[in-house]
Amino acid sequence: MRQHYSDGYILGGPKQNTGLPSSWKNIGKLRANGTMTEIFNMGGYGAYVWPAWGIAVLVLGGLIFASLRTMRARERELTKLETTSPPRRRRDQSSEDGP
Amino acid sequence: MTLHNCGGKTQAGTGKEMLQKYANPKRFLKLANAFLPYVTGATFILIGAGVYYAFAASPPDYQQGQTVRIMYVHVPSAWMAMFTYAFIVVSSAVGLIWKHPIAHISALAAAPIGACFTLVCLTTGSLWGKPMWGTWWVWDARLTSVLVLLFLYLGFIALANAFDDAARGERASAILALIGGINLPIIKFSVDWWNTLHQPASVTKIGMPSVHSSMLIPLVLMAVGFTTLFFTLLIIRMRSELASRRINSHRAARIHAEAATE
């Protein structure tokens, strides 16, 4: 039994070609005409689906970006410090103040 | 020459103690950097495949229509929000009990990741709830306990950074993490214990998941992809934290060296 949705999705298999097996892999395949509008509208829920995914991309992308930036800055500074460190003094010459 | 260990306390260092202090972080860094390209690649592949399946190769829901696509980002982020907190609980316990040098650092690195996942979970949940339930928010058990989880993350981060002495910050935040651990089973079982608006479990329940395979595949792909993303970000953030501590050590050593030569 095939159910059709107004936005072009077909549950159970392709609409026209009855020769193909109706496996679930064919579910959800967008039809060739009018797909950009359909994608934007998301069956009337476009105003919810796209901001949801957009926020996820922004937040997680922002986290990735910030983490990478911090890591590069700190490691750069560390190599700078390690290559220009002051000459080490021997332990038996260290000051009386100790630790 | 004085040295600062991870806790900020000064200590005269023999060569061996110095080695011990940094051996673990160095060993960890070597291991982490070896894994990093693979876990990054896996993240790209899994999330890419997940997004493809979520939008192009799965059907709309019989009842919910296209809003079901929000599920493919909302549910994995919820799972990761809880997974990350569990990770922080374990790391904090290990740090408090065995005083492993890397434990608190891993908890500190994981906290912002968890906070971001929780934020994504809450906002995508609201955007899913408005068309489906007719409301952006409701103070039911699950939503409230996930909001509490967000506050726990923020509190953990704030507490860890609140002290001049890093060791006290680590200890305080670890204790907060452990106490807040009670929230995890509350989140998980809230939909069973109380009459909630949020739907009960369909995947992680006894017996087969009651989700069709066409929807289970993008869900699992996104979930595993988010997990690899977590580990990628964890490694990156731990590298930052370790570098930061070594920078502080260097700076402190210089100050002492300069002070001694005056």
Q: Which domain holds residue A36?
A: 1-44
For residues A39 and A64, state if they share a domain: no
Q: Are A12 and A3 in contact (CB under 8 A)?
A: yes
Any domain includes B204: no
Any domain includes B111: yes
b/e burial code for range B57-67 (CB count within 10 A of at least 16 → b): bbbbbeebbbb
Which H helix or E strand runs over B94? Answer: helix B68-98
State pLDDT tens for residues A26-80.
444 544 446 888 888 888 888 999 999 999 999 999 999 999 999 999 999 999 9
Assign A91 a pLDDT band (cuts: 50, 70, 90).
low
For residues A35 and A49, state if they share a domain: no
- Chain A CB contacts of B113 under 8 Å are 63
Any domain includes B207: no
Any domain includes A6: yes
pLDDT at A38: 82
Query: Which B residues in the span 217-246 are in contact with A, Cβ-Cβ below 8 Å?
Result: 229, 233, 236-237, 239-240, 243-244, 246
Domains of chain B: total? 1
A64 shares contact with chain B (CB less than 8 Å): yes
Q: Decide if B58 and A67 are in contact by the 8 Å CB cutoff.
A: no
A34 shares contact with chain B (CB less than 8 Å): no
DSSP character for A95?
A: -
pLDDT at A85: 65
For residues A51 and A68, state if they share a domain: yes
Assign B259 a pLDDT band (cuts: 50, 70, 90).
confident
- Chain A CB contacts of B15 under 8 Å are none
For range B25-49, the mean pLDDT = 93
State pLDDT tens for residues B165-176.
889 999 999 999
Any domain includes B201: no
For residues A24 and A52, state if they share a domain: no
Cα distances (angstroms) measured from residue B233 to each of B92, B108, B129, B165, B205: 19, 12, 29, 26, 29
Any domain includes A37: yes
**Pair type for strands B10-12 and A3-4:** unpaired
CA-closest candidate to residue B7, choices B177, B171, B240, B158: B171
For range B22-34, the mean pLDDT = 81
- The answer to whether residue B9 scores a pLDDT higher than 70 is no
Choice between A46 and B179, residue whose per-residue pLDDT is larger: B179
pTM (two decimals): 0.80
Distance CA(B209)–CA(A78), nearest Å, equals 49
Q: Are B105 and B156 in contact (CB under 8 A)?
A: no
Distance CA(B196)–CA(B221), nearest Å, equals 28
Nearest to B12 among A7, A71, A99 (CB): A99
A95 shares contact with chain B (CB less than 8 Å): yes
For residues A34 and A5, state if they share a domain: yes
In sequence order, what are the residues at sequence separation of 6 or more whose Cβ sits closer than 8 angstroms to the Cβ of residue B177? B85, B88, B89, B92, B107, B152, B156
Any domain includes B54: yes
A96 shares contact with chain B (CB less than 8 Å): no
A94 shares contact with chain B (CB less than 8 Å): yes
For residues A33 and A53, state if they share a domain: no
Any domain includes A92: no
Distance CA(B23)–CA(B36), nearest Å, equals 20
State pLDDT tens for residues B88-124.
999 999 999 998 889 999 999 999 999 999 999 999 9
Q: Decide if A24 and B213 are in contact by the 8 Å CB cutoff.
A: yes
B48 shares contact with chain A (CB less than 8 Å): no
For residues A60 and A76, state if they share a domain: yes
Any domain includes A71: yes
A16 Cα distance to chain centroid? 36
Any domain includes B205: no
Q: Are B228 and B39 in contact (CB under 8 A)?
A: yes
For residues A30 and A58, state if they share a domain: no
- The answer to whether residue B66 scores a pLDDT higher than 60 is yes
Q: Which domain holds residue B128?
A: 2-195+212-261
For residues A5 and A37, state if they share a domain: yes
Any domain includes A96: no
Q: Is B65 strand, coil or helix?
A: strand
Any domain includes A95: no
Q: Is B11 strand, coil or helix?
A: strand
Q: Is B10 strand, coil or helix?
A: strand
In sequence order, what are the residues at sequence separation of 6 or more whose Cβ sits closer than 8 angstroms to the Cβ of residue A28? A9, B56, B57, B58, B59, B60, B214
Q: Is A11 left (phi over 0), alpha (psi -120 to 50) or beta?
A: beta
CA-closest candidate to residue B61, choices B203, B208, B200, B214: B214
Q: Are B251 and B12 in contact (CB under 8 A)?
A: no
- The answer to whether residue A98 scores a pLDDT higher than 60 is no
Contacts 24+ apart (CB under 8 A), A11-20: A11/B59, A11/B62
Q: Are B223 and B230 in contact (CB under 8 A)?
A: no
Q: Which has the minimum average pLDDT: A80-89, B18-27, B29-38, B54-63?
A: B18-27
Q: Name the one residue in this structure whose structure tokens are 């979970």.
A: B121
Domains of chain A: total? 2
Distance CA(B3)–CA(B219), nearest Å, equals 49
Q: Are A58 and A65 in contact (CB under 8 A)?
A: no
For residues A5 and A32, state if they share a domain: yes
Mean residue pLDDT across chain B: 88
pLDDT at B103: 93
For residues A49 and A39, state if they share a domain: no
Any domain includes A94: no
Any domain includes A90: no
How close does chain A come to B1, measured CA to CA in Å? Answer: 6
